[in-house]
Structures are given as C-alpha cells and as structure tokens.
Structure 1
Amino acid sequence: MIQSQTLDFLKELVDNNKREWFQANKERYDKARENVIDLAANVITKLHKVDPSVSADLDPKKCVMRIYRDIRFSKNKTPYKNNFGISLPTQGSKLGGVEYYLQIQPGKSFIAGGYWMPEAEHLKAIRQEIDYNANDLKRIINDKGFVKLFGDFRAQDQLKTTPKGYDADNENIDLLKLKSFIVSHPLKDKEVISKDAAGLIVDICSKLYPLNIFLKNAIA
C-alpha cells in the first residue's frame, strides 16, 4: 500500500517544484520512492499469477519511472514530475509495448493497460488483427463489466483520415483508425493507501488482461 506520507510529499512537490526544495526534501523523496517500489514488488508478485507474461523476476526498482522530467524540448520547465509511474511490461524486462501501467498521484491515480502509440510495424499488425478478428476484440471491449470499469474503448485518439489499405466503409473503421489501444481506470486516494491496494490494482488488471492478450497475439 501507499503511505499517506508519500501522497503528502507529492502534494507539496506541486507547489515547490524546484531543485532547492527537492534537495532539501531528498530524504522524504527517497522514502516515498521506496514505498512505491514496495508496492510495485507486491503488484508484480500478484500480477504474475494472473498474467504469466509479467515476469515474476521483474526488478521493481527498474519498473518505477524517473521522477526527473526531460525539459529540453518542453515549455514547462519544472524539473520534477508530480507523480510516480510504474511500468509493468509483458515482454520481458523491456518497458513499453503491451503493458500495465500504474500512476500514483494525489487525486489523480490510475491503473491502465494496453499499447500506447505502437511503433509502425506493430500498429500495422494490430490493425491487421482487428481486420481479421474484430469480433474477438469487440467481445472484450463491449463487455458490460469492461465498459463500466474503463469506459468507451473507441473514445481515444483516432486518425482523421482512413488508414492506408482500408476502406472508409469498413464496418470496423472506428477501431482501425485508433492511434493507441489503451484503457484506464481511476483510483481514489483511499484505495491506494488501503492495506489491499495491490490486490485491488491486480483485480483491475485482470479485467483488462484479455485486451493485452489480443494485442500481444497481434504482434507476436
């Protein structure tokens, strides 16, 4: 579970996002990060039993993303993120691709999964899988329980034009035009600090597991 002190640190970081404050509170950051690493380790152990492609040997330290922002090409010059991100890959230890993703942020925590902005080769393969086996995907994303947890799968970024190789009147054009194939579910602060936070997170992951299987099969 996440300690309330971890959320407190992130809340204060929002109003004090500068190197001087961060260095003065480095010990608090280190404790918060260790707390997040502990949660990641617990989630990995439980999630492996649901989805064996999430390796039980994943290093939780490497799954917790850097809090330092890359500001080289950003108008926002604040040096630190105001959240902790946890990437849980399903393809060995390489982050990205088809994965589960957990973000810890006061009032804005969430669990997500799927494939965000696939590389060109994978995007082509996923579209081909949708074209061939759309009913399999639609059974997953149209399921009432799935929609209740994650909302409308089709309501994410789409191409403004028809993807190359497909007709505009294709019955599944709304799925073929998607740029990403992700879902997310918000987590309340009281949920992430609860004793069974890892269990709750993994339970939600189990509901999006079929989507990840569909996507993994597409790019296999």
Structure 2
Amino acid sequence: MTGASYTGFGDKALPFLKALGFHQNREWFHDNKAIFEEHLNEPRGRLIDDLAARLAERRIPLTCARKTSTFRINRDVRFAKEKHPYNTHVSAVVTRSGAKKDQGLLYVHVSPDDSFLAVGFYAMEPDELRAFREAIVARKAQFDEALKPLLGLGFAFDREDSLKRTPRGFETVDEPELVDLLRLRHLTLSRRFGPDRLKGTALLEDLVELAEAAQPMLSFGWRVTDPVRAARDELSH
C-alpha cells in the first residue's frame, strides 16, 4: 500500500485489458505486468482504500479491502470450458465484512467494452432466494419503496439469467411486475458507465453515491436472508 489517494485509473488501463484479450499468454503478461500494476491494479487498490474510508465516515455498514475485496486477473480454469488464463477486466466487491462471499453487495467491473456498477444479492442459496421471493410478495410496497433511490440513479434489474416460468410455489401470483421479479435468479441491479468515469475521482464518488442509495434495498434483503442463514448454520453445528 502506498498511502496515496485515488486519482483515477491510468491512461493505459483499458488499452492493456483490450490487448490482453488478444495476448492470452503468460509471456506477454509478464512483459507488460508493470503496466497492469501502474494503470490498473494500484489505482484499483487506492479506490478500495479511499472507498472504505468514505463509507466508514458516513457510517454505512459496508466495507472493502485490497486483499479480500478484489478479484485476481488470473482466471480459475479448472472447471471452465474457456481456458484462457487471464480475465480481460478488473473488479471488486463491497460487502458488510469486505469478504467476497457475503450477501448484499456492491460490485464494480472495469473492462474495455462493458464497465458497470451493480448492487444487490447474487447467487443466493435456494432457501435464501425463496425467503426473499416470499418477502417481496408479502411486502411488495415496501420493496418498491426500497428500490426507489436505486431506480432514481438509473439502475435496473439484471434479467439475463431469468427463469422462463414462475418458480414453484408462486404459481398463483398473476401481477406481471411481481411475476417478473419472482423469475429473477439474482436480485441485482446494474448500471453501465463509460471510460470518462475512470478519470479523476468520478468512480469513487459514484460508488459512495451508490452505497448510500442502496441501503434501503440491502437492508430489506438482510432482514430476510440473515435469519435464514443463521438457522441453516445452527442446524449444521
């Protein structure tokens, strides 16, 4: 850690990631690793450091750290069909503990073609997802109210992995908007951003703004999923 403040990603950040897509080999990466460190990895670390401090100042119950919140540029290809050794993006998560597997998160993804911010509950256990769906049905007005700050910032639900049919147990639900929510596999919302947000402190400010706007939605989800997880953990001991 250098202790320096975040001032944006380097000018070679996106060109490096784009070139990495064409040069998926360890020799090229080793020869250009200094660019990765200076223009991508170190700026990302500074972003994480400054964001953690800003969240603590505002007493927002989220945090992040370089060691636990960032994803490696190396891909885990053990079970992947695609065997390219490197990701062509850099990313990080912000959670209550700073650990990646915590539910209720912010996510930042920087890539040449599809940079975005995301927020919500991703890859929940089946019992957590069912409880969340039941809570949405029971308290739809409250859930809608919790979403307003995020929708106001231009975030929208991610529907790419949605179910084609309403999940079992919810077949009697016929309100189209509610059915749409129940078919989501992940209760996450996202918003794309352009290369201009990588300059200066724009991305840091965007993340602080997102963290504040996300509190009602995250709190709604934590109240639902925390008891489910606690009960499951108790049964396993």
Provide TM-score, normalisation by structure 2: 0.80
User: What's the counterpart of residue 28 of structure 1?
Assistant: 35
Cα distance between partner residues in 1 of 2:167 and 2:36: 45
Cα distance between partner residues in 2 of 1:86 and 1:212: 18
User: What's the counterpart of residue 168 of structure 1?
Assistant: 172
Cα distance between partner residues in 2 of 1:99 and 1:195: 21
CA shift, 1:148, in A, is: 5.8
Cα distance between partner residues in 1 of 2:169 and 2:58: 36
1:50-199 mapped onto 2 (5 Å cutoff):
50=58, 52-55=60-63, 58-90=64-96, 92-96=97-101, 97-141=103-147, 143=148, 146=151, 149-151=154-156, 153=157, 155-171=159-175, 172-199=178-205
User: What's the counterpart of residue 206 of structure 2?
Assistant: 200
The 8 Å contact of residues 156 and 180 in structure 1, kept in 2 or not, is answered as no
The 8 Å contact of residues 55 and 61 in structure 2, kept in 1 or not, is answered as no
Cα distance between partner residues in 1 of 2:51 and 2:221: 22
Establish whether residue 45 from structure 1 lines up as the match of residue 53 from structure 2: yes
Question: Structure 1 residues 119, 128: CA separation in 2 closer, same or farther (over 3 Å shift)?
Answer: same
Aligned mate of 1:9, from 8, 16, 41 = 16
Cα distance between partner residues in 1 of 2:174 and 2:152: 23
Q: How many residues align?
A: 215
Question: Structure 1 residues 113, 119: CA separation in 2 closer, same or farther (over 3 Å shift)?
Answer: same
Which residue identity is paired with 1:33?
Answer: N
Cα distance between partner residues in 1 of 2:158 and 2:33: 42
The 8 Å contact of residues 154 and 174 in structure 1, kept in 2 or not, is answered as no
In percent, how many aligned pairs have the same letter? 25
The 8 Å contact of residues 149 and 214 in structure 2, kept in 1 or not, is answered as no
Question: Structure 1 residues 76, 157: CA separation in 2 closer, same or farther (over 3 Å shift)?
Answer: closer
SS in structure 1 at match of 2:169: coil
CA shift, 1:68, in A, is: 0.8
CA shift, 1:175, in A, is: 1.9
Which residue identity is paired with 2:10?
Answer: Q
Which residue identity is paired with 1:65?
Answer: F
Which residue identity is paired with 1:61?
Answer: K
Cα distance between partner residues in 1 of 2:223 and 2:20: 41
SS in structure 2 at match of 1:198: helix
Which residue identity is paired with 1:186?
Answer: R
Please list the CA deviations of residues 161-188 of structure 1 after superposition, one character each: whole Å capped at 9, or x if unmatched.
Answer: 3323223334333222221100111121
Cα distance between partner residues in 2 of 1:89 and 1:51: 13
Provide TM-score, normalisation by structure 1: 0.86
Which residue identity is paired with 1:161?
Answer: R
SS in structure 2 at match of 1:4: coil
Question: Unpaired segments of 5 or more residues in structure 2?
Answer: 1-7, 227-237
C-alpha RMSD of the superposition: 2.3
CA shift, 1:156, in A, is: 4.7
SS in structure 2 at match of 1:102: strand
CA shift, 1:194, in A, is: 2.5
Which residue identity is paired with 1:38?
Answer: R
